[in-house]
């Protein structure tokens, strides 16, 4: 009986890099381009210039929301003082509002 040689699995893609290496190499080539670096620099500069504007808008939004909440609170209180709504309705309206204001920082 003659022995039949069992073929060994050869690495067919011995010379080829894995796909992830190709992706990383393509990304590295992209990052080496001067145009991309300049575009990133411009984008970062624009974002840095917007920081004071965004902060100012957030502060303005905060104060306007407090003013609106105060107006709603005073409006509900005035309706209760002039007996337009009953005390139970006043508590029913103010309770959830106060619960929201003081409970939103808990979670």
Q: Tens digit of pLDDT for each residue in 56-72?
A: 999 999 899 889 989 99
Residue 52 lies in a domain: yes
In a domain, 81, yes or no: yes
Taking only the tens place, the pLDDT of each residue in 4-44 is 556 555 555 555 567 888 888 888 888 888 898 899 999 99
- Indicate whether 5 belongs to any domain: no
Q: How many other β-carbons are positioned within 10 Å of the β-carbon of residue 76? A: 19
**Containing structural domain, residue 89:** 37-103
Q: Using an 8 Å Cβ cutoff, are 97 and 72 in contact?
A: yes
Let me know if residue 49 belongs to a domain.
Answer: yes
Q: Which of helix, strand or coil describes residue 48?
A: helix
- Asked if residue 56 is part of any domain, the answer here is yes
Of 95, 64, 97, 93, residue with least CA distance to 76: 93
Give the total number of structural domains in the chain.
1
Residue 24 lies in a domain: no
Mean pLDDT of 68-87: 93
Q: Could you tell me if residue 22 is inside a domain? A: no
Instruction: Provide the whole-model pTM.
Output: 0.52
């Amino acid at each position: 009986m003659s022995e039949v040689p069992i073929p060994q699995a050869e690495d067919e893609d011995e010379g080829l890099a894995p796909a992830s290496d190709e992706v990383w190499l393509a990304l590295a080539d992209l990052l080496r381009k001067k145009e991309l670096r300049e575009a990133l620099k411009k984008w970062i500069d624009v974002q840095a210039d917007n920081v004071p504007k965004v902060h100012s808008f957030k502060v303005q939004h905060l104060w306007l929301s407090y003013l609106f909440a105060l107006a709603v609170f005073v409006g509900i209180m005035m309706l209760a003082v002039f007996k337009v709504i009953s005390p139970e309705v006043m508590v029913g309206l103010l309770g959830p509002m106060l619960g929201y204001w003081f409970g939103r920082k808990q979670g």
